[in-house]
Structure formats: structure tokens, C-alpha cells
Structure 1
């Protein structure tokens, strides 16, 4: 059976970490290994990891004392773990029971149709609150993410539609994502861009995660509606500066001209609101 490496970076996550690990233990697909790297937590996170790594042979505590931040921590795990496929895991969500099985099946189908190229598969999420009460049944609809466009490099460059905790990638995708030679906004965005540029992104409309929203979210879900766009216009100077910073990053990976960037930015904004 194909082995899946689940990569989990933790930081002060003791409040929800046990629930997340338990949801992985309850997966229908069983041939996985969970690799956990802690990013210098000051709460009981390390104690929880140690307890699970002692109890379960396929849960591994990757000890590294340096603080890296979430992006570099996840990419450190990706670089130092070898497997058939790789999935990324946040410390505060709940994985639905068929998540791994569904993802493995989809990426194997994609590889059969597209041999020897980088492939990334990702899924929708169900947005829930701290107590797991549903806020919205589809994160993609909640945030107006049009995945038929965001699977393409040019559109993905102006809007990251890939949520790392839903991702599975193959070894070709790992190869094009490493080594990391520059500062990047986030590991999922970086990997998605490299795969879109050199391989294929495939999406599954079904939610596979309860995407928990709470006060300590690193990123989180933001409802995208008319009020959101009006707010962006009100702080237009900051918005433009952020976009120019993003363009400089994209320019380094040969995205194209600033005119092209704004053309796709405006086009996708219109598409997003149709």
C-alpha cells in the first residue's frame, strides 16, 4: 500500500492538538506516518507530541530546537522526510474520516493520466467555529474562490486558492518546490505556484476538513463579499503596496510584467463576483 507522510508543524497548539491527531488516527486509510515538528512552543504542546509518539509507532516527533516560523517549518519537514506522497496538517482542525483515502485515490488517477509531472491535489473545507459548529458548508463559496481559474498559474498568482491543510503532493511536486531559495509568503502558496508553473493542480469539490476558526488562527477564513471589497478600496494605499510586494515575489519566479499581473488581478476580481 502507498505510504503517505503527514507533515504537521506545531506552535502553542495544546488546546486543539489532541483532537486533530485523533482525527488522523480515525482515518479510513491506514498506511500513513505523521511527522510532527514543534516550533519552540511554551505550552504543553511538546508533552502531547511525546505522549502520542510513544503510544503510536507511526507518529514521529522531529526534534529541532530552532524557531523557523510556520512556512519554513513545514518546508523543513518536506525536505527531510521521504515518502510516496505528502500531506500538510495544521494543529487545530479536524480531518474527516475519508480525507486521506479520497486524496490518494485522486492523485493516483491524476498520475495515471499525467505521468512524470508535479501534481498537487487539494479539497474544499467546511468552515466551523471554535466548538466545531458549522459557520459555512464550503470555504470556497464562503471566500468566493473559483477553482476552475485558480488551478492556472496566471490566476493563482493573483489569488492563492490552495489551502495547505487540504493538500497532497507527489515527489515530483516536492522536487520543484525545494530547495527554498527565497523568502516566500507561505508554504502552500509557494508549492502551489511551482506545481501550477511546471505540473498540474487538481481540486476536489468535497470538503475533507472541519476548518476551525478561532482567535489564534495563523491565516483563517475570511468571508469575501461586497463589504470586503469596499474595505480594500478604503485602504487602497495599503492594498496597492501589498500587491506590489506580491508582484516582486512573483517576478522572481518569472510570472511576467506588472501589466500582466494587474490584468489578471482585475479580471479575477470581476470573475469572483459574477
Structure 2
């Protein structure tokens, strides 16, 4: 890769809050990286205000708008962006977060320094008004494997079960992102790209907080979001990751990670406490949670999950 790679900033837009959208665009416009292009795909094409709004706020970078005729969902929308961009490095971008100044330069420098094919960074958490809730997500969640891995770690097996590089914090070499195509419809683009990047090369964690993740009413998420019963968990958390594991094993049958990924997926599918315990290293937090899920009576599980969700609001 050349010393100063060209960057494609990939943004999928869907019915944005225009105040938040303006702040995100302004933070991109303030980046001092010289070789970047912003690619935008509007996943709500009947809204014709998006293009002029973007052009109003972006004058420091070229902007390319992908043709869009229908709503296809965020995974397919990011897939279209990856297909059509042709820079050396891609950066995923959401519509309502904020980048710190130097976000691109610092991540590129770290990618070149480490030889990584993917770099993720730490993030701060802000509320709807832009006030900082958590200065460092990594520091605030020391037991979360997804944000407490280090540069050079082999995260492939764990990355098949949970996202280890949230999209808005991800920089990935373009050739690696294109090798991840097509994106499986049942797997978030960031989880899938991180998994493939870890399989194909070195991945890196930059502990600098280069982005601000906005937590507000429409995007609040968490481990137990939309989960009230055991069946909810199986349908929304287990089933999609089973398909992720199968897709990975289909595409990389000779991978040294395939057997462990398949074994943990099988353990989750069967709900066997013994199999979950045996293969717990594939994702300790998930394994222990699902062991408890299969031991605890359904009414108690529902009571506990509701209590946890209320406490986390």
C-alpha cells in the first residue's frame, strides 16, 4: 500500500436527523487528510433533500452519490458502497455520530505502522445533546472482549459471534473489504468485515478515541434489546450467528478457525450446557449467558432481563 493511501469514506443514509447529520458532515469536512472521497448512498431515495444538504456541508472533499432507487437496508447499502468505491482504504461512516479532528490521519498512520489490514479505534459516548457520557468505551467496559483486545490478537473465532469493530470506528483495506463480498444479509456489515479481515490478515486496536458515538432514542441498543423471553434471544441473537458461522465455514473451509467456529455454533444451536461449557473459549460471555439461559426457568429469565434493561436506561 502506498505511503499516503487514498481513502473512501462510505456513508449510508436513511431518514437522518438533520441536526445530527450536519454535525457528522461538519466533522468529516474538518479532517485534514488530503486524499479522501466521500461516497453517499441514500437508502430512502424519495427524499431528494439529502444530496444538496451534503454538498452544503462538504466542501473539503469530493462527494460521489451512488444511484439509489429503493430501500434495501443498511447491510446491502454498505455492500453497494464497497462494490462501487475504488480507493485503497475504506472507512465506514454513520449519519449521526461525530469524528474527532485527525480521525483519518491517525488511523492511517497506525495502519501503516502496524501493517494491519483493519484498524478499529476506541470511542467516546455522547448523548442526544452531544454531552459526553463515557470518555472511553473501552475503559468503561473492561470485561467486554469486543473492545478489550489488542493489536495482533487473533480474534477470528470470537469475531464470528460478536462485533469486535463497530462500523463507525472501522478502517479497512479496500481489497480485504471486497474479498468479504457479498455481505450475508443476516450479518451486520461491520461484524462480517471484521471477521474476514481477522481471517485474512492482522487486525489492530487503536486505543485513541477518534469517534463519538451518539446514543439517543432512535439508536439505543444493547445486549438485551428486543429480548423479553428465551425464544426472543434464540431468534434474534443465536439464529443469525449460526448463519454467520455456516457462511464463514462455506467460504473458508480450510481455515484453521473453521472447526472452532462451527463447534461453538453447534453448541449454541443445540443449547447443550455441556457443549457450551466445552467450547466456551470461543466466546466466554455468550457461553456463560446461554448456559444460564438454559438452566434458569423461563419466568425468572424474563424477570431478570426486564430488570437489567430498566437499570440500563
Structure 1 residue 270: Cα displacement: 8.3
- Residue 244 of structure 2: aligned partner: 249
Structure 1 residue 173: Cα displacement: 1.1
| 1:130 paired residue among 123, 128, 131 | 128
Q: Are 2:122 and 1:107 aligned?
A: no
Q: Which has the higher contact order (CA 8 A, sep 6+)?
A: 1
User: Where does the alignment leave 5 or more consecutive residues of structure 2 unmatched?
Assistant: 250-260, 269-275, 290-313
| 1:209 paired residue among 188, 208, 211 | 211
Are residues 270 and 221 of structure 1, via their aligned partners in 2, closer, same or farther at CA, if it must alter by over 3 Å? closer
Structure 1 residue 174: Cα displacement: 2.0
SS of 1:165 mapped into structure 2: helix
Q: Assess if the C-alpha contact under 8 Å between 2:187 and 2:240 holds in 1.
A: no
Q: What TM-score do you get using the length of structure 1 for normalisation? A: 0.82
- CA distance in 2 between partners of 1:159 and 1:40 (Å): 28
- CA distance in 2 between partners of 1:271 and 1:251 (Å): 18
- CA distance in 1 between partners of 2:180 and 2:286 (Å): 31
Partner deviation per Cα, 1:241-273 (whole Å, 9 max, x = no partner) = 431442232122123223566323785218999
- CA distance in 2 between partners of 1:36 and 1:267 (Å): 35
Q: Assess if the C-alpha contact under 8 Å between 2:29 and 2:60 holds in 1.
A: no
Structure 1 residue 136: Cα displacement: 0.9
Are residues 179 and 158 of structure 1, via their aligned partners in 2, closer, same or farther at CA, if it must alter by over 3 Å? closer
Alignment of 1:178-197 (within 5 A): 178-180=181-183, 182-197=184-199
Q: Are 2:2 and 1:4 aligned?
A: no
Are residues 162 and 131 of structure 1, via their aligned partners in 2, closer, same or farther at CA, if it must alter by over 3 Å? same
Q: Are 2:26 and 1:31 aligned?
A: no
User: Where does the alignment leave 5 or more consecutive residues of structure 1 unmatched?
Assistant: none
Q: What TM-score do you get using the length of structure 2 for normalisation? A: 0.72
Structure 1 residue 123: Cα displacement: 0.6
Q: Are 2:53 and 1:48 aligned?
A: yes
Q: Assess if the C-alpha contact under 8 Å between 1:11 and 1:40 holds in 2.
A: yes
Q: Assess if the C-alpha contact under 8 Å between 2:154 and 2:198 holds in 1.
A: yes
Alignment of 1:84-99 (within 5 A): 84-99=88-103
- Residue 231 of structure 2: aligned partner: 237
Q: Assess if the C-alpha contact under 8 Å between 2:89 and 2:173 holds in 1.
A: yes
Structure 1 residue 105: Cα displacement: 0.5
Q: Assess if the C-alpha contact under 8 Å between 2:90 and 2:172 holds in 1.
A: yes
Are residues 2 and 252 of structure 1, via their aligned partners in 2, closer, same or farther at CA, if it must alter by over 3 Å? closer
SS of 1:15 mapped into structure 2: helix
Partner deviation per Cα, 1:86-143 (whole Å, 9 max, x = no partner) = 10110101100021011101111232xx7xxxx1110111000011101111223445
Partner deviation per Cα, 1:152-211 (whole Å, 9 max, x = no partner) = 11112222121111111113312321233x323211011011112222221111111111
Structure 1 residue 84: Cα displacement: 1.3
| 1:164 paired residue among 140, 163, 167 | 167
Structure 1 residue 61: Cα displacement: 2.2
| 1:74 paired residue among 61, 75, 78 | 78
- Residue 155 of structure 2: aligned partner: 152
The count of corresponding residues between Structure 1 and Structure 2 is 257
Are residues 42 and 128 of structure 1, via their aligned partners in 2, closer, same or farther at CA, if it must alter by over 3 Å? farther
SS of 2:262 mapped into structure 1: coil
Q: Assess if the C-alpha contact under 8 Å between 1:50 and 1:61 holds in 2.
A: no
- Residue 309 of structure 2: aligned partner: none
Are residues 259 and 101 of structure 1, via their aligned partners in 2, closer, same or farther at CA, if it must alter by over 3 Å? same
